[in-house]
Structure 1
Amino acid sequence: MTQSSLSLRGLLAHAGNLLTFGSMVPLPLSDIRPYEALSGAPSCPVDSPISCHNNTPVAGDDSCCFVYPGGRMLLTQFWDQKTHAGGAEQDWTLHGLWPDLCDGTYDQFCHMTPRYNNITEVLEHYDQQELLQFMNRFWLASSGPNSGLWSHEFNKHATCINTLAPSCYGDHTPGMEVVDYFSRASALFRMLDTYHALEVAGIVPHSRKHYPLADVTAALERFSGGKVVLRCTGRRDVLHEAWYVYYVKGSLQTGNFLPAKDLGKEGDAGNCAPWIKYLPKKPLEEDL
């Protein structure tokens, strides 16, 4: 990769930080919105409470502007063992956007929104071809069709996000919440270029080299502005997952994602050894 392409990659990532969420740099957060929600999503006041920073749920209509009870959001990425078809050797992939219960525990397969097993069809119905193209590049199943992973992620995690409930939409039609969940997760992923964040710190894939876990963590936390949980495979020494930790001010659809400054009670689910490997991906042709 040339120096010019590296600079462009970094510039795009930084621009995404500025324009998409505004939470990675010292800018006023209250006036920045990540994207336009599909339609009918709650328009929340700028002084909405921050998730996990209130001991009781917000009552009435305002509950659609406060993510509860799962208000500690994890944007989870994987460093896969091989290059995916249509992808690149530098690609981290998106695994999910998970609502934890502010203490490291979580609910799953809830009933706050309907479940969907036809994610592709729903996104096509709402003319989300560009989003689908992005997801087929970066939101990939380790086995089976990508649509199977997408249904699993939505039904397990998005159904536990209260602001995606149909009652939170002014004019709800089935599937709006699907578009908002996958759009929001993809928008967050776009600004978190894990490969670039490590690369600028001198941490690049290598078949033999070990890196201090503290250096890898520090590089990602400098870039994201918040806490990051790392997960490893092998003998807990092969980097495989990065979880970026956020709270939400407002609704999941239109609120601001604020980088977590601490992991909270039982929040560090990391399992990596003090020194870890960041292995290069196997080229796609090696599996032929």
Structure 2
Amino acid sequence: MSCPSYAVGCQLNPVTNAKYDACCVSDSVFVFAQNYSIGLTYRTASPAWTKNSVAAAIGPKFTMHGLWADHCDGSYETTKWTNQALGLANGTNYDLFGCDASRAFQNAQQVIAADCNNAYLNTWIDTFWRAGDGDNNWLVAHEWSKHGTCTGSFGNACYPGQGPFAGFFDFLKVSLAVYQQLDIMAAFNKAGIFPSDVNTYTLAQLVAAHKAAFGAPGAMQCQGNTGKGVGPQYLSEVWTYLQEVPNKRYVPFDANTIGPKVVYNSCNDSIPIIIPVTPSPLNKF
């Protein structure tokens, strides 16, 4: 495999005018999503996305949701339900997979624990990759099965002779590296933005803080009456758009340059945004 140092995902090789090998850089735009779990307890419909007890335990910080490979125009693989494909009985709490059912599984933390060289990954999953319902195993298995299997540079062909889970382990390690690279709360704090149950911010302020810290605007997701044009709304996720470069490194970039509908903000730009410190008192989940 040839992988020149100048390779960038979603760009043709300027020398050959051809796509790069998938094991060099994936032909994808990436979204790295981080949850703000306290904000996820606020929702007009019931139940909320996350338990108050989980949000309170995590506190006012961002944890990982996932590293998502989109197509180069911002579209993405649709969810496939896999009872038959995975040989699961009806009624089974089966996972979703994206592009390769043969590499999809539900027992992520069991697979990790069985590998002596990678067992430590379960510790940081339980710290930084937290599911709103408390089932971290399901969340990580879901993220790998739905998104990791759709990422060319994590394919089996990129890990010859390294076993069936090499791409999965690399997906976890790379995701953690990106999480450490993108400290959203530090970026907000530097811009004078701090969690509070009463202080409010605008969508423009949050996007500007992201751009100042990482060189590109991010996308903000909110819970509340965002679609109805009334407040309040609560920050629940931050998305950072990335391009892949060699050695599975990810560089923030302005995805607005691809097209007008690639970057998605669910926060309403006319409603003040709260970054709460207290889970919703109305949430009984």
TM-score, normalized by length of structure 2?
0.75
Alpha-carbon distance in 1 for matches of 2:5, 2:208: 31
Quote the offset at 1:272 in angstroms.
Answer: 1.0
1:78 pairs with one of 35, 40, 56: 35
Partner of 1:225: 215
1:64 pairs with one of 23, 31, 53: 23
Q: Is the alpha carbon distance of 1:215 and 1:201 closer, same or farther for their aligned partners in structure 2, counting shifts above 3 Å?
A: same
2:249 pairs with one of 228, 231, 256: 256
Alpha-carbon distance in 2 for matches of 1:244, 1:113: 29
Q: How many residues align?
A: 237
Q: Deviations over 1:221-266 (max 9, x none)?
A: 211222311111102221111001100123xxx2331211333222
Partner of 1:269: 264
Partner of 1:116: 105
Unpaired runs of at least 5, structure 1: 1-41
Partner of 1:278: 275
Q: Secondary structure at the match of 2:185?
A: helix
> What amino acid maps onto 1:63 in structure 2?
A
1:240 aligns with 2:240: no
Alpha-carbon distance in 2 for matches of 1:142, 1:57: 42
Alpha-carbon distance in 1 for matches of 2:209, 2:179: 17
Alpha-carbon distance in 2 for matches of 1:43, 1:154: 26
Partner of 1:100: 70
Alignment of 1:1-288 (within 5 A): 44-47=3-6, 49-54=7-12, 58=19, 62-68=21-27, 71-81=28-38, 82=52, 84=54, 87-108=57-78, 109-111=98-100, 114-126=103-115, 127-236=117-226, 237-250=233-246, 254-263=247-256, 264-265=258-259, 266-274=261-269, 275-282=272-279
> What amino acid maps onto 1:58 in structure 2?
K
Alpha-carbon distance in 2 for matches of 1:181, 1:63: 15
Alpha-carbon distance in 1 for matches of 2:109, 2:137: 6
CA contact (8 A) 1:83 1:281 kept: no
RMSD of aligned residue pairs (Cα, Å): 2.7
Quote the offset at 1:128 in angstroms.
Answer: 2.2
Q: Secondary structure at the match of 1:64?
A: coil
Quote the offset at 1:85 in angstroms.
Answer: 8.0
> What amino acid maps onto 2:8 in structure 1?
I
> What amino acid maps onto 1:102 in structure 2?
C
CA contact (8 A) 1:229 1:268 kept: yes
Alpha-carbon distance in 2 for matches of 1:209, 1:85: 19
CA contact (8 A) 2:174 2:248 kept: no
Q: Is the alpha carbon distance of 1:246 and 1:86 closer, same or farther for their aligned partners in structure 2, counting shifts above 3 Å?
A: same
Identity percentage of aligned residues: 26
Alpha-carbon distance in 1 for matches of 2:30, 2:145: 16
CA contact (8 A) 1:58 1:66 kept: no
Alpha-carbon distance in 1 for matches of 2:224, 2:56: 27
CA contact (8 A) 1:111 1:159 kept: yes
Quote the offset at 1:112 in angstroms.
Answer: 8.5
> What amino acid maps onto 1:281 in structure 2?
T
> What amino acid maps onto 2:118 in structure 1?
Q
Alpha-carbon distance in 1 for matches of 2:195, 2:53: 13
Alpha-carbon distance in 1 for matches of 2:243, 2:171: 16
Alpha-carbon distance in 2 for matches of 1:220, 1:96: 18
TM-score, normalized by length of structure 1?
0.74
Quote the offset at 1:77 in angstroms.
Answer: 0.5
Alpha-carbon distance in 2 for matches of 1:118, 1:74: 24
CA contact (8 A) 1:113 1:165 kept: no
Q: Secondary structure at the match of 2:177?
A: helix
Q: Secondary structure at the match of 2:160?
A: coil
Quote the offset at 1:124 in angstroms.
Answer: 2.1
